[in-house]
Structure 1
Amino acid sequence: MAEFEVATGAAELPADEDRGRGAAVRTAFEGLLQIRRLMNTGAADPEGAPADWERRQPVRAVALALEAAGVPPSAVDAAGRRTATGYCLGAAERTGVVRVEWLGPPGSGAGYAAEGALRRCAEVLRRLGWEALEYRGPRRHRYLEVEPPVAGPPRS
């Protein structure tokens, strides 16, 4: 059996896109929530904060969360040309931080849709306990930086 591969939007769409991808994503996301329940046992809401596994693999965890929420990933073809509009993830400059962009093929209007699309991404991720802040880069290009919350002392 092939390993489930998350869709980061930075590569070709996974080969299983047409064959049960939705079911595979739901199963993987339920597994992630189960990890949270097992690892976050002392928390008031065990599913409400990223577990250690997610903190060690934030790009994979964020990609899974977005795809499970129905947010489409972007994609490129074998030549590196963008073929689909959606989220595109990569590591940010700081360790443990994920950069989320909204990208599409030339002429797709992805730049115009970025504000609303990134807002939706941020809402999905915040509900799952991630911190998501929007920034603007060169030429007012919007993107998010997503990271797990800083672990503080336990609340009494």
Structure 2
Amino acid sequence: MTRPPTAAQRRVLDSADPVTGRLRGGTETQLAALVKRGLAFRHPRPPHDHFLTPAGHRIRETADVPAVPAERAPAAESGVFAARIGGEEEPPAGGPARLREVRGAWEGLVELRRMTNPDGATDRPCGWERTHLVQAAALALEAAGHPPAGPDGTGGYRVRATPQPEAVAVHRPDAEGLRACAATLEQGGWQVSEHTDPRTRARYLLASPRRT
């Protein structure tokens, strides 16, 4: 089991701005430890402030949650938070706690866009999303309130990798729901096109992060 944050680290996490994730306290040693654990990142431009990662936001909002192991940084790809891609055999529990987790992860990701896109744009995906396509697209859908598919693959969306280097497939059994998923992804900075599976004749989406 991964060690939880120390009391001092927890105080630093709690000092973060709830919207931007900017850390307003902590020594250089404490901040470096949070970066190493994937809970914060140091902005590359002056004044080089530190900000929470999506996992850092999640830790801040949830007490007694295991921290991210250093060898699995950056935290956005860690097991601390994972967006639902649909069809999981053991999906995470729902309810208000899950809604807070998803909201915090999405707010953290938007902030990550602002801090890492060269022009500070928040309306298009950042580098992390381009290397974690399935999780990024699933987070956009879950944060917008779309229901993920259950363990039997029905009832909502499923996001899956494709052979294409920068595209994911989004499946949903109902046409209306599929169109709603397309609208959400487009609003989140993705390019979306609709296709038909040649074998099953089912409609699905191909989504790629927009670059401009």
The corresponding residue for 1:144 is: 205
One of 83, 86, 94 as aligned partner of 1:17 = 94
Structure whose residues are more often strand by fraction? 1
1:66 correspondence with 2:141:
yes
Give the secondary-structure state (helix, strand or coil) at the position aligned to 1:20: helix
- For 2:179, the aligned partner's letter is R
Aligned residue-pair number:
134
C-alpha distance after superposition, 1:38-71 (max 9, x if no partner): 012415xx11110000001010000000000000
One of 153, 161, 168 as aligned partner of 1:98 = 168
Distance 1:83 1:142, change over 3 A: closer
The corresponding residue for 1:105 is: none
Separation of aligned partners in 1, 2:169 and 2:188: 17
Separation of aligned partners in 2, 1:83 and 1:139: 15
Separation of aligned partners in 1, 2:92 and 2:119: 39
**TM-score of the pair, normalised by structure 1:** 0.79
Judge conservation of contact 2:87–2:153 (CA < 8 Å) in 1.
no
Report the RMSD for the aligned CA atoms in angstroms: 1.7
Separation of aligned partners in 2, 1:84 and 1:19: 23
Separation of aligned partners in 1, 2:94 and 2:169: 24
C-alpha distance after superposition, 1:20-55 (max 9, x if no partner): 111100000000100011012415xx1111000000
**Percent of aligned positions with the same letter in both sequences?**
36
The corresponding residue for 2:177 is: 117
Deviation at 1:127, TM superposition (A): 0.7
Give the secondary-structure state (helix, strand or coil) at the position aligned to 1:133: strand
The runs of 5 or more residues in structure 1 that have no matched partner are: 77-81, 103-109
Give the secondary-structure state (helix, strand or coil) at the position aligned to 1:131: strand
Judge conservation of contact 1:89–1:100 (CA < 8 Å) in 2.
yes
Which runs of at least 4 in structure 1 moved beyond 3 Å after TM superposition? none
Bigger RCO of structures 1 and 2 (CA < 8 A, at least 6 apart): 1
Separation of aligned partners in 2, 1:63 and 1:100: 9
Separation of aligned partners in 2, 1:13 and 1:74: 12
Larger radius of gyration: 2
Deviation at 1:18, TM superposition (A): 3.7
Separation of aligned partners in 1, 2:204 and 2:147: 16
One of 191, 196, 202 as aligned partner of 1:131 = 191
Separation of aligned partners in 1, 2:114 and 2:148: 27
The corresponding residue for 1:85 is: 155
One of 13, 29, 33 as aligned partner of 2:106 = 29
The corresponding residue for 2:33 is: none
Separation of aligned partners in 2, 1:83 and 1:98: 17
Separation of aligned partners in 1, 2:91 and 2:98: 9
Judge conservation of contact 1:8–1:87 (CA < 8 Å) in 2.
yes
The runs of 5 or more residues in structure 2 that have no matched partner are: 1-64, 67-79
